[in-house]
Amino acid sequence: MSYVAIKGGGQAIAGAAAVSEYLRTEEGLGNTGAEPLAIDAILHQLRHLVDRVVSEGGVYHPRFAALAIKQSMGDTLEAAFALRAWRSTRPRLSETPPLDTSRMRLIRRISAAFKDIPGGQMLGPTPDYALRLLRLELMDESPDAFRAVARNWLEKCPEAELPDTFPKVLDALRAEGLLPPVSATRGQTAFDITREPLVFPVPRSAQLATMARAETGSLLAIAYSNMRGYGDVHPTVAELRVGYLPVMLPHPVTGEFVEAGEVLITECEVVAMYEADEAGGKPVFTIGYGACFGHNEVKAISMAILDRALQKGMKDGANNPSEDPEFVLLHVDGVDSMGFASHYKMPHYVTFQSDLDRLRTTQQKSGEPA
Protein backbone atom coordinates (compact mmCIF):
# COMPACT_ATOMS: atom_id res chain seq x y z
CA MET A 1 0.00 0.00 0.00
CA SER A 2 1.09 3.52 -0.63
CA TYR A 3 1.29 4.47 3.05
CA VAL A 4 4.16 2.03 3.45
CA ALA A 5 6.35 4.74 1.95
CA ILE A 6 6.39 6.72 5.17
CA LYS A 7 6.97 3.71 7.40
CA GLY A 8 10.36 2.23 8.20
CA GLY A 9 12.12 5.57 8.46
CA GLY A 10 14.39 4.28 11.23
CA GLN A 11 15.59 1.35 9.14
CA ALA A 12 16.19 3.59 6.15
CA ILE A 13 18.38 5.93 8.21
CA ALA A 14 20.36 3.02 9.64
CA GLY A 15 20.78 1.61 6.14
CA ALA A 16 22.04 4.94 4.80
CA ALA A 17 24.61 5.13 7.61
CA ALA A 18 25.74 1.56 6.97
CA VAL A 19 26.25 2.01 3.25
CA SER A 20 28.16 5.26 3.82
CA GLU A 21 30.42 3.44 6.26
CA TYR A 22 30.89 0.76 3.62
CA LEU A 23 32.14 3.38 1.17
CA ARG A 24 34.53 4.78 3.75
CA THR A 25 36.11 1.37 4.33
CA GLU A 26 35.66 -0.17 0.88
CA GLU A 27 39.40 0.05 0.14
CA GLY A 28 39.94 -2.76 2.67
CA LEU A 29 37.99 -5.30 0.57
CA GLY A 30 40.52 -8.06 -0.13
CA ASN A 31 43.37 -5.61 0.30
CA THR A 32 45.49 -6.59 3.27
CA GLY A 33 47.67 -3.52 2.88
CA ALA A 34 44.79 -1.05 3.24
CA GLU A 35 45.02 1.16 6.32
CA PRO A 36 42.53 3.57 7.81
CA LEU A 37 43.39 7.21 7.26
CA ALA A 38 45.44 8.31 10.29
CA ILE A 39 44.45 11.55 12.00
CA ASP A 40 48.10 12.63 11.90
CA ALA A 41 48.23 12.05 8.15
CA ILE A 42 45.22 14.33 7.69
CA LEU A 43 46.70 16.94 10.04
CA HIS A 44 49.91 17.11 8.09
CA GLN A 45 49.29 16.00 4.54
CA LEU A 46 45.86 17.55 4.16
CA ARG A 47 46.73 20.60 6.25
CA HIS A 48 44.86 23.11 4.13
CA LEU A 49 41.72 21.05 4.46
CA VAL A 50 42.19 21.12 8.24
CA ASP A 51 42.83 24.89 8.05
CA ARG A 52 39.60 25.38 6.23
CA VAL A 53 37.59 23.24 8.62
CA VAL A 54 38.92 24.87 11.82
CA SER A 55 38.15 28.24 10.30
CA GLU A 56 34.64 27.45 9.08
CA GLY A 57 33.93 25.30 12.12
CA GLY A 58 34.69 28.34 14.25
CA VAL A 59 36.81 26.53 16.81
CA TYR A 60 40.55 25.97 16.83
CA HIS A 61 40.76 22.23 17.32
CA PRO A 62 42.89 20.82 14.47
CA ARG A 63 42.69 17.23 15.73
CA PHE A 64 38.89 17.23 15.86
CA ALA A 65 38.88 19.00 12.50
CA ALA A 66 40.96 16.12 11.12
CA LEU A 67 38.54 13.64 12.68
CA ALA A 68 35.62 15.50 11.11
CA ILE A 69 37.37 15.36 7.73
CA LYS A 70 37.92 11.64 8.16
CA GLN A 71 34.34 10.83 9.09
CA SER A 72 32.88 13.07 6.37
CA MET A 73 35.23 11.53 3.82
CA GLY A 74 36.63 14.93 2.92
CA ASP A 75 33.41 16.92 2.52
CA THR A 76 34.46 20.35 3.86
CA LEU A 77 30.92 21.58 4.46
CA GLU A 78 30.03 18.46 6.43
CA ALA A 79 33.31 18.47 8.35
CA ALA A 80 33.00 22.14 9.36
CA PHE A 81 29.40 21.43 10.32
CA ALA A 82 30.34 18.53 12.63
CA LEU A 83 33.01 20.65 14.30
CA ARG A 84 30.59 23.57 14.72
CA ALA A 85 27.94 21.31 16.23
CA TRP A 86 30.49 20.03 18.72
CA ARG A 87 31.53 23.59 19.48
CA SER A 88 27.97 24.65 20.20
CA THR A 89 27.85 22.32 23.21
CA ARG A 90 30.86 24.00 24.84
CA PRO A 91 30.23 26.76 27.37
CA ARG A 92 32.19 30.00 27.08
CA LEU A 93 34.46 30.03 30.09
CA SER A 94 36.82 32.90 29.47
CA GLU A 95 37.67 35.75 27.14
CA THR A 96 40.99 36.73 25.65
CA PRO A 97 42.09 40.33 25.49
CA PRO A 98 42.58 41.69 21.95
CA LEU A 99 45.60 39.74 20.73
CA ASP A 100 48.57 41.57 19.28
CA THR A 101 49.30 40.14 15.84
CA SER A 102 52.69 41.86 15.68
CA ARG A 103 53.71 39.07 18.08
CA MET A 104 52.90 36.31 15.58
CA ARG A 105 55.51 33.62 14.98
CA LEU A 106 55.52 34.11 11.25
CA ILE A 107 55.85 31.53 8.51
CA ARG A 108 54.99 33.97 5.75
CA ARG A 109 54.64 37.72 5.37
CA ILE A 110 54.28 39.83 2.27
CA SER A 111 53.30 43.33 1.28
CA ALA A 112 52.13 44.28 -2.19
CA ALA A 113 52.35 47.97 -1.32
CA PHE A 114 56.11 48.32 -0.87
CA LYS A 115 59.10 46.67 -2.43
CA ASP A 116 60.71 46.33 0.93
CA ILE A 117 59.10 46.55 4.33
CA PRO A 118 60.54 46.92 7.83
CA GLY A 119 61.41 43.36 8.87
CA GLY A 120 61.51 42.20 5.24
CA GLN A 121 59.28 40.29 2.88
CA MET A 122 59.11 36.55 3.56
CA LEU A 123 57.55 34.40 0.89
CA GLY A 124 57.23 31.24 2.99
CA PRO A 125 55.04 28.30 1.95
CA THR A 126 52.84 29.44 -0.93
CA PRO A 127 51.71 27.97 -4.22
CA ASP A 128 51.47 31.51 -5.67
CA TYR A 129 54.42 31.14 -8.04
CA ALA A 130 54.30 27.38 -8.39
CA LEU A 131 53.63 25.93 -11.80
CA ARG A 132 50.42 23.98 -11.52
CA LEU A 133 51.79 20.93 -13.25
CA LEU A 134 50.71 17.53 -12.03
CA ARG A 135 53.57 15.97 -10.10
CA LEU A 136 53.25 12.48 -11.47
CA GLU A 137 56.16 11.27 -9.32
CA LEU A 138 53.83 11.54 -6.30
CA MET A 139 51.45 8.99 -7.80
CA ASP A 140 53.49 6.24 -6.25
CA GLU A 141 55.66 7.89 -3.64
CA SER A 142 57.96 5.60 -1.70
CA PRO A 143 57.65 5.90 2.09
CA ASP A 144 61.44 6.15 2.45
CA ALA A 145 61.73 9.01 0.00
CA PHE A 146 58.77 10.69 1.68
CA ARG A 147 60.43 10.50 5.11
CA ALA A 148 63.75 11.81 3.78
CA VAL A 149 62.40 15.03 2.27
CA ALA A 150 61.61 16.94 5.45
CA ARG A 151 64.78 15.73 7.18
CA ASN A 152 66.96 16.83 4.29
CA TRP A 153 65.27 20.20 4.12
CA LEU A 154 65.83 20.86 7.81
CA GLU A 155 69.50 19.83 7.59
CA LYS A 156 70.13 22.32 4.80
CA CYS A 157 68.19 25.07 6.48
CA PRO A 158 70.50 27.79 7.78
CA GLU A 159 70.14 28.73 11.44
CA ALA A 160 68.43 32.07 11.54
CA GLU A 161 67.71 34.28 14.45
CA LEU A 162 64.24 35.62 13.80
CA PRO A 163 62.98 38.52 15.88
CA ASP A 164 59.99 37.90 18.18
CA THR A 165 57.95 40.61 16.55
CA PHE A 166 57.62 42.11 13.13
CA PRO A 167 56.33 45.66 12.77
CA LYS A 168 53.05 46.10 10.94
CA VAL A 169 53.13 47.84 7.57
CA LEU A 170 50.01 49.74 8.52
CA ASP A 171 51.75 51.27 11.55
CA ALA A 172 54.22 53.03 9.28
CA LEU A 173 51.43 54.41 7.09
CA ARG A 174 49.50 55.48 10.15
CA ALA A 175 52.53 57.25 11.60
CA GLU A 176 52.74 59.18 8.35
CA GLY A 177 49.11 60.31 8.70
CA LEU A 178 47.92 58.40 5.64
CA LEU A 179 45.41 56.26 7.53
CA PRO A 180 42.47 57.10 9.75
CA PRO A 181 43.35 57.22 13.45
CA VAL A 182 42.72 54.07 15.47
CA SER A 183 38.99 53.83 16.04
CA ALA A 184 37.61 54.87 19.40
CA THR A 185 35.79 51.54 19.64
CA ARG A 186 39.07 49.62 19.73
CA GLY A 187 39.48 47.65 22.91
CA GLN A 188 35.75 47.45 23.51
CA THR A 189 34.36 44.01 24.22
CA ALA A 190 33.99 42.09 20.99
CA PHE A 191 30.54 41.04 19.83
CA ASP A 192 30.18 37.29 20.37
CA ILE A 193 28.16 35.88 17.47
CA THR A 194 27.85 32.54 19.24
CA ARG A 195 26.02 34.16 22.13
CA GLU A 196 24.16 37.06 20.56
CA PRO A 197 21.99 37.13 17.44
CA LEU A 198 22.72 39.58 14.63
CA VAL A 199 20.15 42.37 14.84
CA PHE A 200 20.94 44.90 12.13
CA PRO A 201 22.72 47.25 12.08
CA VAL A 202 25.48 45.24 13.74
CA PRO A 203 28.87 46.51 14.97
CA ARG A 204 31.98 45.89 12.92
CA SER A 205 33.25 43.27 15.37
CA ALA A 206 30.10 41.21 14.71
CA GLN A 207 30.68 41.56 10.97
CA LEU A 208 34.30 40.46 11.29
CA ALA A 209 33.41 37.52 13.52
CA THR A 210 30.74 36.35 11.08
CA MET A 211 33.12 36.54 8.15
CA ALA A 212 35.95 34.88 10.07
CA ARG A 213 33.95 31.64 10.25
CA ALA A 214 32.25 32.03 6.89
CA GLU A 215 32.44 29.42 4.16
CA THR A 216 35.48 30.22 2.02
CA GLY A 217 33.76 29.85 -1.34
CA SER A 218 30.77 31.98 -0.36
CA LEU A 219 32.99 34.76 0.96
CA LEU A 220 35.16 34.62 -2.15
CA ALA A 221 32.17 34.77 -4.50
CA ILE A 222 30.74 37.93 -2.92
CA ALA A 223 34.19 39.55 -2.58
CA TYR A 224 34.89 38.69 -6.22
CA SER A 225 31.70 40.45 -7.31
CA ASN A 226 33.06 43.56 -5.61
CA MET A 227 36.49 43.19 -7.21
CA ARG A 228 35.05 42.71 -10.70
CA GLY A 229 32.92 45.80 -10.78
CA TYR A 230 29.89 45.41 -8.48
CA GLY A 231 31.78 47.56 -6.04
CA ASP A 232 34.82 49.78 -5.96
CA VAL A 233 37.28 48.62 -3.34
CA HIS A 234 40.38 48.33 -5.61
CA PRO A 235 42.48 47.12 -2.73
CA THR A 236 46.21 47.04 -2.22
CA VAL A 237 47.42 44.31 0.10
CA ALA A 238 49.37 46.36 2.62
CA GLU A 239 50.29 43.23 4.48
CA LEU A 240 49.41 39.59 4.55
CA ARG A 241 50.88 37.46 7.29
CA VAL A 242 50.53 33.83 8.25
CA GLY A 243 51.83 32.43 11.49
CA TYR A 244 51.26 31.28 15.02
CA LEU A 245 49.63 33.81 17.29
CA PRO A 246 50.08 33.47 21.06
CA VAL A 247 46.69 33.35 22.80
CA MET A 248 46.54 35.11 26.13
CA LEU A 249 44.02 34.14 28.79
CA PRO A 250 43.46 35.53 32.27
CA HIS A 251 44.90 33.20 34.92
CA PRO A 252 41.97 31.73 36.87
CA VAL A 253 43.47 32.72 40.21
CA THR A 254 45.60 35.80 39.70
CA GLY A 255 43.70 37.21 36.71
CA GLU A 256 47.02 37.98 35.08
CA PHE A 257 47.25 37.27 31.36
CA VAL A 258 49.25 34.16 30.58
CA GLU A 259 50.02 32.53 27.28
CA ALA A 260 47.69 29.54 26.92
CA GLY A 261 48.93 28.34 23.55
CA GLU A 262 49.06 29.52 19.98
CA VAL A 263 46.80 29.35 16.96
CA LEU A 264 47.75 29.35 13.30
CA ILE A 265 46.05 32.30 11.65
CA THR A 266 46.10 34.24 8.40
CA GLU A 267 45.75 38.00 8.61
CA CYS A 268 45.29 40.44 5.78
CA GLU A 269 45.14 44.22 5.78
CA VAL A 270 44.14 46.00 2.62
CA VAL A 271 44.38 49.70 1.90
CA ALA A 272 41.85 51.21 -0.46
CA MET A 273 41.44 54.58 -2.12
CA TYR A 274 41.01 57.58 0.03
CA GLU A 275 37.92 59.55 0.71
CA ALA A 276 37.31 63.18 1.52
CA ASP A 277 36.96 63.75 5.22
CA GLU A 278 33.46 65.01 5.88
CA ALA A 279 34.54 66.88 8.98
CA GLY A 280 36.90 68.93 6.84
CA GLY A 281 40.08 67.13 7.83
CA LYS A 282 42.70 65.73 5.45
CA PRO A 283 41.62 62.79 3.28
CA VAL A 284 43.09 59.43 4.27
CA PHE A 285 43.20 55.90 2.88
CA THR A 286 40.51 53.49 3.98
CA ILE A 287 41.36 50.03 5.32
CA GLY A 288 39.85 46.59 5.30
CA TYR A 289 40.73 43.82 7.72
CA GLY A 290 40.55 40.07 7.35
CA ALA A 291 41.69 37.26 9.62
CA CYS A 292 40.83 33.63 10.02
CA PHE A 293 42.04 30.47 11.71
CA GLY A 294 44.43 28.38 9.69
CA HIS A 295 46.40 29.16 6.57
CA ASN A 296 43.76 30.38 4.11
CA GLU A 297 44.89 33.46 2.23
CA VAL A 298 42.00 33.62 -0.23
CA LYS A 299 39.60 33.77 2.68
CA ALA A 300 41.54 36.46 4.56
CA ILE A 301 41.82 38.64 1.44
CA SER A 302 38.13 38.18 0.59
CA MET A 303 37.21 39.10 4.14
CA ALA A 304 39.39 42.23 4.08
CA ILE A 305 37.80 43.41 0.86
CA LEU A 306 34.31 42.78 2.20
CA ASP A 307 35.14 44.51 5.49
CA ARG A 308 36.07 47.60 3.52
CA ALA A 309 32.97 47.26 1.32
CA LEU A 310 30.68 46.87 4.33
CA GLN A 311 32.16 49.90 6.07
CA LYS A 312 31.41 51.90 2.96
CA GLY A 313 27.89 50.48 2.78
CA MET A 314 27.25 51.35 6.43
CA LYS A 315 28.44 54.90 5.82
CA ASP A 316 26.99 55.77 2.41
CA GLY A 317 24.30 53.12 1.92
CA ALA A 318 24.79 49.96 -0.08
CA ASN A 319 25.13 50.39 -3.84
CA ASN A 320 26.06 46.75 -4.41
CA PRO A 321 25.23 43.45 -2.73
CA SER A 322 28.77 43.27 -1.33
CA GLU A 323 28.21 46.56 0.51
CA ASP A 324 25.00 45.42 2.19
CA PRO A 325 25.71 43.93 5.63
CA GLU A 326 22.50 41.88 5.64
CA PHE A 327 23.20 40.49 2.20
CA VAL A 328 26.78 39.55 2.98
CA LEU A 329 26.53 38.39 6.58
CA LEU A 330 23.37 36.34 6.24
CA HIS A 331 24.55 34.43 3.18
CA VAL A 332 28.15 33.44 3.90
CA ASP A 333 27.70 30.86 6.63
CA GLY A 334 28.34 27.37 5.28
CA VAL A 335 26.41 25.56 7.99
CA ASP A 336 23.32 27.69 7.38
CA SER A 337 23.41 27.65 3.60
CA MET A 338 24.30 23.99 3.08
CA GLY A 339 21.70 22.95 5.66
CA PHE A 340 18.97 24.86 3.96
CA ALA A 341 19.93 23.66 0.50
CA SER A 342 19.87 20.08 1.82
CA HIS A 343 16.54 20.45 3.57
CA TYR A 344 14.73 20.64 0.23
CA LYS A 345 15.39 16.92 -0.04
CA MET A 346 13.11 16.26 2.91
CA PRO A 347 9.47 15.33 2.33
CA HIS A 348 7.26 18.32 1.54
CA TYR A 349 4.06 16.34 0.93
CA VAL A 350 1.85 18.60 3.00
CA THR A 351 2.96 21.90 1.51
CA PHE A 352 2.90 20.41 -1.98
CA GLN A 353 -0.64 19.17 -1.38
CA SER A 354 -1.53 22.70 -0.42
CA ASP A 355 0.20 24.03 -3.57
CA LEU A 356 -1.79 21.57 -5.70
CA ASP A 357 -5.00 22.82 -4.13
CA ARG A 358 -4.18 26.41 -5.00
CA LEU A 359 -3.10 25.69 -8.58
CA ARG A 360 -6.13 23.50 -9.32
CA THR A 361 -8.51 26.11 -7.92
CA THR A 362 -6.76 28.87 -9.84
CA GLN A 363 -6.79 26.83 -13.06
CA GLN A 364 -10.49 26.16 -12.60
CA LYS A 365 -11.15 29.86 -12.16
CA SER A 366 -9.14 30.80 -15.22
CA GLY A 367 -11.31 28.42 -17.28
CA GLU A 368 -14.47 30.17 -16.10
CA PRO A 369 -15.89 33.14 -18.00
CA ALA A 370 -14.85 36.38 -16.31
Partner 1 sequence: MNAMSHNQAGNAYNFGFLDEYAKKEVRRAILKAIAIPGYQVPYASREMPMGRGFGTGGLQLTLSLIGPNEVVKVIDQGSDDSVNAVNLRRFIEMTCPGVSTTTATAECTLIQSRHRIPELPLTARQILVLQVPYPDPLVVVEPSEDKRKTMHGEADYSRLLVKLYEDIVKFGEITISHRYPTRINGHYVIDPSPIPRWDVPKLNDSAALILFGAGREKKIYAVPPHTKAEPLAFSDVPFRVEDFRDEQGRRRACARCGCVDSFLDEFVTDSGSKTYQCSDSDWCDMQLSKARQTQGEPA
Q: Does 75 bind partner 1 (CB under 8 A)?
A: no
Q: Does 193 bind partner 1 (CB under 8 A)?
A: yes
Amino acid at 118: P
Pick the piece of the chain touching partner 1 (CB under 8 A) from 218-226, 240-248, 297-305, 335-343.
335-343
Cross-strand partners of 262 = 246
d(CA 73, CA 67): 10
Minimum CB separation of residue 309 from partner 1 in Å reads 17
Minimum CB separation of residue 366 from partner 1 in Å reads 7
Q: Does 60 bind partner 1 (CB under 8 A)?
A: no
Q: Does 356 bind partner 1 (CB under 8 A)?
A: yes
Q: Does 340 bind partner 1 (CB under 8 A)?
A: yes
Q: Does 335 bind partner 1 (CB under 8 A)?
A: yes
Q: Does 7 bind partner 1 (CB under 8 A)?
A: yes
Q: Does 94 bind partner 1 (CB under 8 A)?
A: no
Of residues 190 and 198, the one with the C-beta less far from partner 1: 198
Q: Tell me the DSSP string of 308-370.
A: HHHHHHHHH--SSGGG-HHHHHTT--HHHHHHHHHHTTS--HHHHHHHHHHHHHHHHHHHS--
DSSP label at 323?
Answer: G
Cβ proximity of 241 and 265 under 8 Å: no
Task: Give counts: helices (H), strands (E), the chain.
Answer: 13, 4
> What SS3 class is residue 273?
strand
Q: Does 282 bind partner 1 (CB under 8 A)?
A: no
Minimum CB separation of residue 64 from partner 1 in Å reads 12
**Could you report how far apart the first and last alpha carbons of the chain are, in Å?**
43
Residue 202 CB contacts under 8 Å (≥ 6 apart), including other chains: 191, 325, 329
Applying CB under 8 A, among 36, 201, 281, 283 the residue interacting with partner 1 is 201
Residues of the shown chain interacting with partner 1 in the complex, contacts defined by CB under 8 A: 1-3, 6-10, 12-13, 81-82, 84-85, 87-92, 193-201, 326, 330, 335-336, 338-344, 346-351, 353-358, 361-362, 365-366, 368
